[in-house]
């Protein structure tokens, strides 16, 4: 007969050791997160220092290069004037509307294309072709069709975003293993149930990748559209940079460029990237 040892219970000392270990783990994770932020900011700091040294040593004309302090001053001036907050809100609103339309139309269309392998194979070259033709290349034609209007900017944003969204939604459906669909059919599931429970959730990671790419492309198309049409439609960050160029204010031009990059990093790292990672963890490989 085998004698089993009695179950052990944690003593107060053991519990204290566990809590201490947990506290050390949290502290380590906090330091690790701080170190990651520091490593991300370090290259920017190096660039700013190098920029400052080049400006201090060579002292180029202001029409060519200004100091980081002058760029910061230009940024503060736009905030005090009230133009910067208004232009940021306007550009983000345009991007948000374009995103809603591109996702609302592109994702269902991509799913429908992906349901049929022969259709997906036939349409894929066309999607790649139009995805390669940048929305900025369509800008002259858009101006001829719609004039210097808000419709032109929105059309460029939606066009630029739609093709990565459609393509990745289609690929997301096509890459789901066939055995999942067959397993549902053996249990009596119909086409609607398979689409709802297999194709849609299984394609979410690919859809999020397309959305992240599409918003990045749409951001660039938005700025290009505001460069050309901004005067007629009431501003935006693109218009802020273009208007500063006409005035020869390189400090404000560089401030606008830096702001574009900072805003995109905020949107991408704080919103899009976490959502994409969560989607991959939740539905990756059709969990």
Asked if 107 contacts 97 with a C-beta cutoff of 8 angstroms, the reply is: no
Domain residue limits at 191: 68-283
Domain count, the chain: 2
| Same domain flag for 36 and 146 | no
Q: How far apart are CA 5 and CA 123, in angstroms?
A: 67
pLDDT in tens, 194-245: 888 788 888 888 999 999 999 999 999 999 999 888 777 778 899 999 888 8
Would you say residue 1 lies in a domain? no
Mean pLDDT estimate for the chain: 83
Say yes or no to pLDDT of 109 above 90: yes
Arithmetic mean of pLDDT, 64-91: 90
Would you say residue 232 lies in a domain? yes
| Same domain flag for 25 and 162 | no
Q: How far apart are CA 157 and CA 135, in angstroms?
A: 7
Arithmetic mean of pLDDT, 8-30: 48
* Range in 52-66, 131-145, 170-184, 252-266 with the lowest mean pLDDT: 170-184
Say yes or no to pLDDT of 31 above 60: no
* Range in 3-7, 138-142, 172-176, 277-281 with the lowest mean pLDDT: 3-7
Q: How far apart are CA 258 and CA 71, in angstroms?
A: 9
Asked if 158 contacts 98 with a C-beta cutoff of 8 angstroms, the reply is: yes
- Give the CATH number for residue 150: 1.10.3720.10
Asked if 210 contacts 83 with a C-beta cutoff of 8 angstroms, the reply is: no
Element (H, E) at 129: helix 117-132
Would you say residue 242 lies in a domain? yes
**pLDDT for res 25:** 47
Half-sphere exposure of 11 (CA within 13 A, CB side): 2
Q: How far apart are CA 256 and CA 237, in angstroms?
A: 7
Helix then strand then coil, in percent of the chain rounded to 5, is 85, 0, 15
Would you say residue 82 lies in a domain? yes
| Same domain flag for 16 and 116 | no
Predicted confidence band at 34 (pLDDT cuts at 50, 70, 90)? Answer: low
Q: What is the pTM of this model?
A: 0.78
Predicted confidence band at 144 (pLDDT cuts at 50, 70, 90)? Answer: very high
Asked if 244 contacts 252 with a C-beta cutoff of 8 angstroms, the reply is: yes
**pLDDT for res 286:** 47
Would you say residue 263 lies in a domain? yes
Q: How far apart are CA 256 and CA 72, in angstroms?
A: 10
**pLDDT for res 2:** 42
| Same domain flag for 53 and 151 | no
**pLDDT for res 32:** 53
Would you say residue 6 lies in a domain? no
Would you say residue 77 lies in a domain? yes
If one counts every other C-beta atom within 10 angstroms of the C-beta of residue 52, the result is 13
């Amino acid at each position: 007969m085998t004698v089993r040892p009695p179950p052990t219970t944690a003593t107060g000392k053991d519990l204290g050791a566990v809590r201490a270990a947990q506290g050390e783990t949290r502290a380590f994770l906090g330091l690790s997160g701080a170190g990651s932020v520091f490593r991300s900011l370090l290259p920017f700091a190096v660039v700013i220092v190098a920029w400052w040294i080049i400006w201090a040593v060579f002292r180029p004309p202001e029409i060519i290069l200004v100091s980081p302090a002058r760029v910061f001053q230009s940024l503060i001036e736009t905030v005090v004037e009230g133009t910067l907050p208004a232009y940021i809100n306007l550009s983000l609103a345009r991007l948000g509307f374009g995103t809603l339309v591109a996702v609302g139309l592109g994702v269902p269309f991509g799913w429908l294309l992906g349901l049929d392998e022969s259709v997906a194979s036939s349409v894929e070259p066309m999607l790649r072709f139009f995805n390669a033709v940048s929305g900025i290349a369509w800008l002259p034609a858009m101006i001829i069709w719609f004039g210097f209007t808000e419709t032109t900017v929105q059309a460029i944003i939606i066009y630029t975003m739609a093709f990565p969204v459609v393509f990745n939604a289609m690929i997301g459906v096509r890459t789901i293993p066939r055995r999942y669909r067959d397993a549902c059919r053996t249990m009596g599931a119909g086409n609607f149930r398979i689409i709802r429970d297999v194709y849609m959730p299984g394609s979410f990671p690919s859809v999020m990748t397309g959305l992240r790419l599409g918003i990045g492309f749409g951001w660039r198309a938005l700025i290009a559209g505001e460069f050309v049409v901004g005067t007629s439609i009431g501003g935006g960050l693109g218009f802020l940079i273009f208007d500063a160029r006409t005035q020869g204010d390189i400090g404000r031009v560089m401030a606008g460029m830096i702001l574009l990059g900072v805003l995109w990093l905020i949107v991408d790292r704080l919103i899009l990237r976490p959502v994409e990672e969560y989607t991959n963890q939740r539905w990756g490989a059709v969990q």
